[in-house]
Amino acid sequence: MVSWREGVPQETQDDFDMLFDRSLDCAVELLGKSRALYPFAFTLSNEGEVAMHGSLPSESATADEAEELLVAGLTGERDRFRAVAVAYTASVTGDDGAPADAVVVKLGHRDGVALNIYAWYTVKWRHRVALGRMATMSGTLAIWPPSGR
C-alpha cells in the first residue's frame, strides 16, 4: 500500500500533521464536553498562523449544511491560506459492518493535495472519549483545485 506521504512535499506533510492533531484534539475535547460536534475548521495562513473557524449551531441548518457553508466561506478566502482542515462527526461503517461514529477531518493544501482522515470513537462513562482505529483516503476538500496526486 502506498502512503499518502509518498511524493508529497515535506511542508505539506508538516502542515497536515499539525492541522490534523489540532482538529482531532479539539474534536475529542468538544465531544467529551457535550457529546456533540458541530463542524469547525482550522486554517494555516500563508504566514504560518493558525486560526479556528466555525459557525454557531442553528435549528434550521443541518450539520451537512453547516459544513458546506464553512467550506464555501473558506474557499472564498483561500488566497489567505496555505492549508485547511475541516472537522465534523459522521456515522460510518465499522469493521464489523455495523454503523460506527467517527471524527472526520478533511485536509486540503494550496498545492492541491487533499486527504480525508477518519478516527473512530466511542464516548465512555463520564464523557471520556476513546479513539479507535484511523483510516486515511484520498481527499474531497475542494478549497483548491486538485494536483493530480
Segment among 31-35, 45-49, 81-85 with least mean pLDDT: 31-35
More confident residue, 112 or 147: 112
| Counted domains in the chain | 1
Residue numbers of the domain that contains 39 = 10-138
Residue 9 one-letter amino acid: P
Cell of 41: 475548521
Residue 31 placed within a domain: yes
Residue 1 placed within a domain: no
DSSP 8-state code for residue 89: E
Residue 50 placed within a domain: yes
Residue 147 placed within a domain: no
Global pTM value: 0.89
* In contact, 41 and 87? CB cutoff 8 Å: yes
Residue 5 placed within a domain: no
Determine the pLDDT at residue 41. 95
Q: How many residues does the chain have?
A: 149
Cell of 102: 467517527
Residue 132 placed within a domain: yes
Residue 88 placed within a domain: yes
pLDDT of 1 > 70? The answer is: no
pLDDT of 147 > 70? The answer is: no
pLDDT of 149 > 60? The answer is: no
pLDDT digits (tens, 9 = 90+) for 52-83: 998 766 666 677 788 888 899 999 999 999 99
Chain center to CA of 39: 9
Residue 44 placed within a domain: yes
Segment among 5-9, 13-17, 60-64, 78-82 with least mean pLDDT: 60-64
Determine the pLDDT at residue 93. 82
